[in-house]
Amino acid sequence: MENNNCRRLLQAVDEASFFMQDLKLYLDTHPDDATAVEMFREATKQYKACKEAFEESCWPLRAEDSGENCEWDWLCGAWPPERL
């Protein structure tokens, strides 16, 4: 069950990240498009929410997000890709 939840959440992070990056690339060439700027802001919020949900349920995606105690927990047991 946990593996399926982590896969689903990681997929949501990937999709939100892709959409956010796609909008960023568009805005590099169309910086005055107010609609795209607002879409980028919303996409960024969505990405952050997906990332937070994933990290709360599964594991940190980056070392600097490893928690208040800076635990290096992915070195114990299975590495994140093996957990899926």
Structurally, the chain folds into a number of domains equal to: 1
Q: Summarize pLDDT for 18-44 with one digit per residue, the tens.
A: 999 999 999 999 999 999 999 999 999
Q: Is residue 52 part of a domain?
A: yes
pTM greater than 0.75: yes
Cα separation of 65 and 80, whole Å? 14
Element (H, E) at 12: helix 2-29
What is the predicted pLDDT for the residue at 32?
97
Q: Tell me, yes or no, whether 23 lies in a domain.
A: yes
- Assess if residue 68 is contained within a domain: no
Structure tokens at 23: 């909008």
Alpha helices, H only, 30-79: 34-57
Specify the higher pLDDT residue, 62 or 45. 45
Is there a domain that residue 45 lies in?
A: yes
Other C-beta atoms within 10 Å of 23: how many? 21
DSSP structural state of residue 61: S
The larger pLDDT score, comparing residue 82 to residue 12, is at 12
The parent domain of residue 30 ranges over 2-61
Report the C-alpha gap between 83 and 9 in whole angstroms. 13
**Domain for residue 19, yes or no?**
yes
Does the pLDDT at position 54 exceed 80?
yes
